[in-house]
Amino acid sequence: MSRQLEVKNLTIAYDGKTAVEGVSFYLGAADIGCLLGPSGCGKTSLLRAIAGFEPVVAGEILLRGRQVTRPGESLEPEQRHVGMVFQDFALYPHLTVWKNVAFGIRRFKRAERRRRVDELLKLVNMQGTENKYPHQLSGGQQQRIALVRAMAPRPDILLLDEPFSGLDVELRTQLAREVRDILKRDQITAILVTHDQLEAFAMADKIAVMAEGELRQWGDGYQLYHRPVDRFVADFIGQGAMLPGQIIDGPRIETPLGIVQGNHMADLSPGETVDLLLRPSDIVHDDDSPFKLEVLDRVFQGAEYLYTLHLSDDTKVLCLVQSHHDHAIGERIGVKLDVSSLVIFASDH
């Protein structure tokens, strides 16, 4: 598979303070990637370096095999054939929808320009809005126009800097999925920056989880959720809790909720103490179980309740239960573990 974007051992620093350190990953043609992490983790600095707006102190960036960034040398942003979609969409308020989309392809011949704009408006179901102005569009419509304007020149890579952050929470995941479909249909390689994991899951093929300037794990949503490489990823991705345990032998671990066994990657010896990552779906409501836990909190989620259960003074676990099982706070309910793939970490206690 051809590599559309390669980031190799990249380090970015401001006034001697490192913002990104030793980051490496790549995207193939038509892949959609995501830089995911909390504020200040370095994801926006990395995106700006790919765009050509930030110098680097180590490493290199290649686009379609061509080196565009290395220490002391950086190809100008306008020479990289990179598209950008910003948080505020940055549409030109004095231009119509048609002229906004056509703005970046003025060098195209007239017939080709018209064909490309019409093709893109049809792609995002915005036919009939050609003569409207940005203020006459909804937030979601503005987002689509900003997207296809950036796609119009067929950039080597499209960079999206938290493009959904100004929209209603209910719209974000839906629009992320729509944008994914649009990019896939037009075979555009893209990379998204976000702090919202649901947006990342909805849109990206590969996700880079970042923290304190480092890339902690690179993988798809399934790998990040079910096979986190460290505690930060385990805590940042999805919901879950750590259950203390002790290694009995290779596959078996003794926990306060009984013995669990299954495949795990850790190289630990019998007798060692560990923490077992439990997702809410790993704990099953079972009235016949000898393990009864107190309900500390509950959140109604329609088909299910998410219960927070009290195991001991310093340990709480989460449990998803069908909502027709309506248990009150303070009630004790029976649970059992149903964990097939074990994610464990050496105890830090």
| pLDDT tens digits, 30-63 | 999 999 999 999 999 999 999 999 999 999 999 9
| pLDDT tens digits, 237-280 | 999 899 999 999 878 889 998 888 877 666 778 888 999 999 99
Q: How far apart are CA 331 and CA 329, in angstroms?
A: 6
pLDDT at 179: 87
Q: How far apart are CA 9 and CA 25, in angstroms?
A: 9
The separation between the first and the last C-alpha atoms of the chain, rounded to the nearest angstrom, is 45
Q: How many helices (H) and strands (E) does the chain have?
A: 8, 21
Q: How much of the chain, in percent, has pLDDT values that exceed 70?
A: 98
> Is the pLDDT assigned to residue 215 strictly greater than 70?
yes
Confidence class of residue 4 from pLDDT cuts 50, 70 and 90? Answer: very high
Query: Using the 8-state DSSP alphabet, how is residue 341 labeled?
Result: B
Query: Using the 8-state DSSP alphabet, how is residue 302 labeled?
Result: S
